[in-house]
């Protein structure tokens, strides 16, 4: 090979190496910028490291996520809204029967003496990358549920309370058709008991409303229920999304096995969309949720299973469970920005209403509320939220352990 040929070959190799180096350098820089968007400042404080360890022991479990290490767990939240701050313990194993089964159970209680026991079994021997099968059971007692009457014109002056207890058992299964597309179903039963409320200073429901105004109160019964769902999920971080979307439809049939009075169909449609800008340090988050119920011929819908609006997760400027009716629609929009690796800040607005008939589910005569919120997170997952909101009935603040746009399949 001539000297000229050697020189040309050397130049070509140098050019190739330089191009690869530039490409690699650009990739590293892109990763660094993305890391800054997800975790800023880049060096975590000792406090964050400590909370990371708590997350592994179950702190993030607000509602049966099942995440965390094997062994004993400490859990926060998970009981029904309005029952007080719940704390509890749990235990989790993923290696029962030569790792064929995953088991988890928890017990939780609040200062207001609401309590819950639940257990979940994951049939790991049946699961694949696409298929999952599990069983969930729960007993919960909530003595401070609020009821103001049915309809969007109910009065704040008619606040009452009632006891709601249920025993739930459900099998659930699903199949991932694509990474972003899943469908599945559920079948099970729920036994329901309602009784006089125990909220201090608030009259019991039966002292304010007649049986006709609160259908199902005091009538213990149990339901068989079954249904299906389909969901599209292409969020980048399901625990704390910054881009992508989530869309789902769920349908569940309830059959009253004891009284043969409350047979109905429940349908829930949900849409979440996340639009980022400024390198994902700012996000516009949008949610639309509609819950539709339809009674079978000759049947009715019990008030305690009607759609509800108001509280920590929708219409945040109104009291918990402020509105009950057969149909409900809620729209929320948030502007979120990322103040640090552990704190997000959001300005938000909610609009929604309840209605007796499907034809009334539209965007007229909506109730409104707006406010500001602070979301605390670990490993890109929200673990605590504090919101301040105002509506036409006043101002309220809330402290809870869940994302405002958390996804919910079914009514466990």
CATH at residue 322: 2.40.160.50
Structure tokens at 408: 């919910």
Q: How far is CA 111 from the centre of its chain?
A: 23
10 located within any domain: no
CB-based burial label for 201 (10 Å; 0-12, 13-18, 19+)? exposed
Question: What is the per-residue pLDDT for 94?
Answer: 83
2 located within any domain: no
156 located within any domain: yes
9 located within any domain: no
Residue 346, strand partner residues = 336, 373
CB-based burial label for 23 (10 Å; 0-12, 13-18, 19+)? exposed
13 located within any domain: no
Per-residue pLDDT of the chain (412 residues; tens, 9 = 90+): 554 444 444 444 444 444 444 444 444 444 444 433 333 333 344 444 555 555 555 554 433 344 556 788 888 888 999 999 899 998 988 888 888 899 999 999 999 999 999 999 999 888 888 898 999 999 999 999 999 999 999 999 999 999 999 999 999 999 999 999 999 999 999 999 999 999 999 999 999 999 999 999 999 999 999 999 999 999 998 878 899 999 999 999 999 999 999 999 999 999 999 999 988 899 999 999 999 999 999 999 999 999 999 999 899 999 999 999 999 999 999 999 988 888 999 999 999 999 999 999 999 999 999 999 999 887 677 778 999 999 999 999 999 877 788 765 444 3
Range of the domain at 65: 33-400
255 located within any domain: yes
312 located within any domain: yes
Q: How far is CA 405 from the centre of its chain?
A: 6
Residue of 35, 103, 32, 38 whose CA lies nearest to 73: 103
Question: What is the per-residue pLDDT for 25?
Answer: 46
Number of domains observed in the structure of the chain: 1
Q: How many helices (H) and strands (E) does the chain have?
A: 4, 18
Question: What is the per-residue pLDDT for 96?
Answer: 82
405 located within any domain: no
């Amino acid at each position: 090979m001539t000297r000229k040929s050697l020189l040309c070959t050397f130049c070509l190799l140098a050019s190739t190496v330089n191009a690869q180096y530039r490409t690699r350098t650009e990739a590293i820089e892109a990763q660094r910028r993305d890391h800054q968007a997800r975790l800023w400042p880049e060096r975590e404080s000792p406090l964050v490291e400590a909370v990371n360890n708590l997350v592994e022991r179950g702190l993030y479990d607000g509602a049966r996520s099942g995440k965390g290490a094997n062994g004993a767990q400490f859990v926060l939240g998970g009981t029904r809204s309005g029952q007080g701050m719940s704390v509890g313990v749990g235990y989790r194993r993923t290696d029962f029967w030569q790792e064929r089964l995953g088991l988890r159970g928890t017990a939780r209680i609040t200062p207001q003496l609401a309590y819950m026991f639940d257990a979940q079994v994951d049939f790991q021997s049946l699961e694949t990358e696409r298929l999952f099968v599990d069983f969930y059971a729960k007993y919960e007692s909530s003595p401070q549920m609020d009821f103001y009457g049915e309809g969007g014109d109910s009065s704040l002056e008619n606040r009452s309370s009632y006891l709601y207890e249920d025993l739930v058992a459900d099998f659930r299964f699903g199949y991932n058709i694509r990474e972003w597309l899943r469908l599945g179903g559920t079948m099970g039963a729920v036994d329901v008991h309602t009784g006089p409320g125990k909220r201090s200073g608030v009259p019991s429901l039966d002292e304010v409303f007649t049986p006709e105004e609160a259908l199902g109160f005091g009538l213990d019964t149990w339901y068989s229920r079954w249904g299906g769902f389909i969901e599209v999920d292409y969020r980048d971080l399901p625990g704390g999304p910054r881009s992508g979307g989530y869309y789902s439809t769920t349908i569940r049939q309830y059959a009253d096995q004891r009284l043969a009075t409350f047979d109905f169909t429940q349908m829930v449609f949900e849409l979440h969309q996340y639009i980022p800008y400024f390198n994902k340090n700012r996000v516009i988050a949008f949610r639309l949720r509609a819950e539709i119920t339809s009674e079978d011929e000759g049947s009715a819908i019990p008030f305690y299973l009607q759609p509800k609006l108001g509280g920590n997760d929708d219409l945040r400027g109104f009291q918990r469970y402020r509105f009950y009716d057969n149909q409900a629609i809620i729209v929320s929009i948030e502007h979120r920005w990322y103040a640090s690796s552990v704190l997000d800040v959001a300005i938000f607005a909610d609009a929604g209403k309840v209605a007796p008939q499907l034809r009334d589910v539209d965007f007229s005569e909506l109730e409104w509320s707006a406010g500001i919120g602070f979301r605390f997170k670990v490993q890109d997952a929200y673990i605590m939220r504090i919101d301040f909101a105002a509506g036409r009935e006043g101002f309220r603040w809330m402290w809870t352990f869940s994302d405002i746009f958390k996804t919910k399949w079914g009514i466990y």
